[in-house]
Structures are given as C-alpha cells and as structure tokens.
DNA sequence: CTATCTGCAAAGGTTTTGCAATGAC
DNA sequence: GTCATTGCAAAACCTTTGCAGATAG
C-alpha cells in the first residue's frame, strides 16, 4: 500500500523524541479502546516531521502529498486525539485559526512572533519564569500554565526566511 | 435624537482615561480622512464603559439596548478601527472568538487568571519587560506589543472576590 | 462479526464583503 | 454634492456533525 510506504518513509530520519511521541499516542489509543489506522499514523508522522506551528490547513496540504484521499475531517479529529494524548498542543494567536505544535514535555517555550513576515520563533527565559512564579505565589496562587507571546518587527528582513511569501496584508 | 442622547448619557461618569481614548480615536479618524458618526461614537462609548474582555456579540448586545438598529457589521468594523487606532486590543483565548479590551496606554498590564474562579488579575513586572526587550533585540527585532497570561490556582479561595459566582467584573 | 473509523456533504458559528440607501463633511 | 458609512443579506471562513460505507480488532 502506498499509504503504508509513505508512513515508513516519513519515519526515516526521526529522532528519539518522535519515538516517544509515537509510543505515547499508541498507548493512548489502546487505553481508550480506539483503533490504530493508517490515516492516524500518517497524520502523526507528518505532524512529527514538521517542526513549527501549523494550521490544520497547512497540515492537511502536507498530508495530501502523501495520500490525496485523506479528508480534512480526519485531520481535525486526529489532531484532537493528539492534543488529548498530550502529543500535540493547540494554540491561538491573533488570527482566528488554531495552530498545533509538538508538545515538548517539560520545556516551556514561549513565542516571539514577527508582525512583518508572520514568522514564529521560540524563546525561553529562566528569569521570566522565576518572576512569574513570584507574581503568582505573592498572591497565594499556584501556576498551572502560562502563555507569553511577543509581537515584534524584524529590523532586517533577512532574519525571516519567508518574508517574501505568505504576506498578511498589513500596512501601518 | 435618541442615539445622541444615549451617547451623552454614557459619557457621564467617565474618567480621564476615557477622555484620552476619545481624543485618540478622534485624531485617528481625522488623520485617516474618515468620518465621525454616531454609530462609531456609540460603539466607542459602550466599549469604554465596560471594563472587561468582551466578545463582539456581547458588545453588540449592549449596543442594541441603546440603539436597536445598529448592525453587527458596524460593530465589527468600528472595533477594527479601534484596534487600529490603539484604543482597543484584540485577544484570542482558547475558544475561537475574538475578545476586545480597552488598551491602557503606556501601562502594560498582563494577566493572571485564576483557573478555579475565573478571576482575572492584572500584573506588571519591569524585570520581565526588560528581559522581553533583550530577547527581541538580540534577534534584531523591535517589540510592538506582547501578551502574557499566567493561569494559576488560588490556594485560599478567600483571595477571589467572586469565587462563588460567575462574575467577570473587576473591583479596581 | 462488531464497533470504530473514514470521507463526503451539510450544518454550525464567527467574521467579512457587496451593494443600495443614508449620512457626514 | 461628494464620498465615506451604514445595515442588510449573502458569502467566506474555520470547525463540527450526520451518515453510509469501509476497516481494524
């Protein structure tokens, strides 16, 4: 089957993190009494293979290069399962679209978003994390999670790999 | 006209912050060659009068108590102008809906959200702001704005004024 | 074989757009 | 008088749901 071949191909070049994610998802599927299907495997592999913050549309596009018959609905449903299983994380930036990224367990990474080219960088700062904890504990509260997004303009567009493509019309 | 009367009424009780916002919006309108209309004034006044994070629907509802004929489209369009002018800020929490809040000029207020009672506190931390700036400038970027939300649980529910109800109003 | 899964189409909800009439300047 | 603005309806958009056929266990 070409679908199975695609999945095997995609697996080449994967690291230990991907392996953990696969096991995590497989366990989740079993525990819930669900079934392991080729479509789910494909969604997982494509998702793991792409590092970034993907919309469902972008993911579905990539998916279709491997299996044109895959339905948008399946991508949505599988993505929800991936979030439930802890493999993926769902985020909402300023546009109305949901974006998904690989959940990196333990490491908090926040986002620096370029308002010129839409590029998304990740950052982490222990000092900020520490101050956050203080802010919460000062009020007798315990942090569950947090979200930190910085929207900035790149001074030199060379920074941004995709400054000439996918422009979102903004002029001010 | 009842619309004008509504606007006048709404203005009563406003503080200096609202006055600044009005001027800012008026300047924006003029600079852009746009026109000052009663609908825009009403949207602005209702928006300024409500402290909180409102969806367009909620705002439109409030609007209709003053002027039933106002269209949802106008609310959307005016809200966009308010964001452009810097008077309002648009946010996206986990649901798909956009929420708007009054942009408090100069003072960055970030959010500490209690996951137990839904209360929203505001905080500000110079150290965090400084680290943010460094993160952006290190990559040759200039910060336009940022978004920092901490989700936490209150240890002692007494902290939270509205832990027993579902109020979203703040007491400052 | 049975229960889940898939893909299509249709529905759901939020936001945008086209257009004739209205209103601001 | 001119050009932006309004409100309605319709479209566009993202996401979910219903259903008959296909598939995993």
Taking only the tens place, the pLDDT of each residue in A101-111 is 988 765 677 88
Segment of A57-61, B2-6, B116-120 carrying the highest mean pLDDT: A57-61
- Where residue B84 falls among pLDDT bands split at 50, 70, 90? very high
pTM greater than 0.75 (yes/no)? no
Average pLDDT, chain B: 80
pLDDT of B69 higher than 90: no
| pLDDT tens digits, A38-95 | 999 999 999 998 877 889 989 998 888 888 889 999 999 999 999 999 999 998 887 7
Q: What is the arithmetic mean of pLDDT over B132-141? A: 88
Q: pLDDT class for A18, splitting at 50, 70, 90? A: confident
- Which residues in chain A are classed under CATH 3.30.1490.190? 110-159
* Closest nucleotide to A29, Cα to C1': C4
Q: Which of B145, B128, B90 is nearest to A150 (CA)?
A: B145
Most confident of A82-91, B51-60, B131-140: A82-91
Residues ≥6 apart with Cβ < 8 Å to A8? none
Q: How confident is the model at residue B156 (pLDDT cuts 50, 70, 90)?
A: low
Task: Show residues, CB within 7 A, near nucleic chain D.
Answer: A 35-38, 55-57, 72-73, 76-77, 80, 96-98; B 29, 33-35, 37, 39-40, 67, 69-71, 73-74, 77-78, 96
Judge: B112–A139 Cβ closer than 8 Å, yes or no.
Answer: yes
In whole angstroms, what is the distance from residue B94 CA to residue B55 CA?
13
Whether residue B159 has pLDDT greater than 70: no
The residue with greater pLDDT, B110 or A74, is A74
pLDDT tops 70 at residue B157: no
| Cα–Cα dist B45/B38, whole Å | 10
Percentage of residues in chain A having pLDDT higher than 70: 83
Contact between residue A111 and residue A148 where contact means Cβ atoms under 8 Å apart: yes
Q: Are B87 and B21 in contact (CB under 8 A)?
A: yes
Residues found in chain A? 172
Q: What is the pLDDT of residue A29?
A: 96
Q: For position A100, what pLDDT does the model report?
A: 93
Would the CB atoms of B142 and A152 count as touching at under 8 Å? yes
Tokens of B70: 């106002």
Q: Minimal Cα distance from B134: which residue of A?
A: A125
Sheet holding B54-55, edge to edge: B54-55, B98-102, B88-92
Which of A3 and A150 is assigned the larger pLDDT? A150
In the predicted model, what is the mean pLDDT of residues B121-139? 87
CB contacts, 8 Å: A144 with chain B: 115, 151-153
Q: Is B156 helix (H, G, I), strand (E, B) or coil?
A: coil
Whether chain A has a CB inside 8 Å of the CB on B125: the answer is: yes
CATH 1.10.10.10 in chain A is located at: 3-102
Q: Which residue in the block uniquely carries the two structure tokens 């044109």? A: A68
> Band of the pLDDT at B92, cuts 50, 70, 90?
confident
| DSSP code, position B52 | S
* The nucleotide closest to A37 (CA, C1' atoms): D24
B53: pLDDT strictly greater than 80: yes
CA distances from A60 to A1, A6, A74, B96 (A): 20, 15, 9, 20
Cα B143 from Cα B145, distance rounded (Å) = 6
Distance of residue A78 Cα from the nearest chain B Cα, in angstroms: 19
Inter-chain CB proximity B115 and A144 less than 8 Å? yes
Please state which CATH class domain A3-102 belongs to.
mainly alpha
List CB contacts of B54: < 8 A, sequence separation 6 or more: B47, B99, B100, B101
Dihedral, CA of residue A43, residue A49, residue A53 and residue A59, to nearest 10: -40
Whether the pLDDT of residue A161 is over 50: the answer is: no
Which residues does A169 contact at the CB level (< 8 Å), separation at least 6?
none
Q: Which nucleotides of D are covered by protein (CB under 7 A)?
A: 4-9, 14-18, 23-25
Pick the CATH number of B110-159 from 3.40.190.10, 3.30.565.10, 3.30.1490.190, 3.40.50.10860: 3.30.1490.190
> What's the pLDDT score for residue A153?
81
Report the percentage of chain A scoring pLDDT > 90: 30
Does at least one atom of strand C sit less than 7 Å from the CB of B33? no
Mean pLDDT of B2-10: 68
Predicted confidence at residue B93, as pLDDT, reads: 74
CA distance B16 to chain A (A): 27
Task: Judge contact between B28 and B38, C-beta under 8 A.
Answer: no
| Residues B62 and B50: beta-carbon distance below 8 Å | yes
* Residue A128 burial (C-beta neighbours within 10 Å; 0-12, 13-18, 19+): buried
Query: What is the SS3 assignment for B12?
Result: coil
Interface of A with B in 81-100 (CB under 8 A): 90, 92-96, 98
């Amino acid at each position: 089957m070409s679908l199975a071949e695609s999945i095997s191909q995609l697996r080449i070049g994967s690291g230990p993190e991907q392996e953990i994610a696969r096991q995590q998802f497989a366990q989740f599927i079993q525990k819930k009494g669900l079934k392991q299907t080729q479509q789910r495997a494909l969604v997982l592999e494509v998702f793991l293979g792409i590092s970034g913050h993907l919309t469902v549309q972008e993911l579905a596009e990539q998916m279709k290069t491997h299996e044109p018959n895959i339905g948008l609905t399946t991508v949505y449903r599988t993505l929800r399962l991936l979030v439930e299983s802890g493999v993926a994380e769902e985020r909402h930036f300023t546009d109305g679209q949901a974006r998904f990224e690989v959940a990196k367990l333990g490491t908090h990474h926040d986002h620096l978003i370029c308002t010129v080219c839409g590029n998304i960088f990740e950052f982490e700062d222990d000092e900020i994390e520490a101050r956050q904890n203080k802010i919460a504990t000062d009020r007798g509260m315990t942090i569950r999670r947090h979200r930190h997004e910085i929207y900035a303009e790149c001074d030199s567009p060379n920074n941004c790999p995709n400054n000439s493509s996918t422009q979102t019309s903004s002029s001010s």
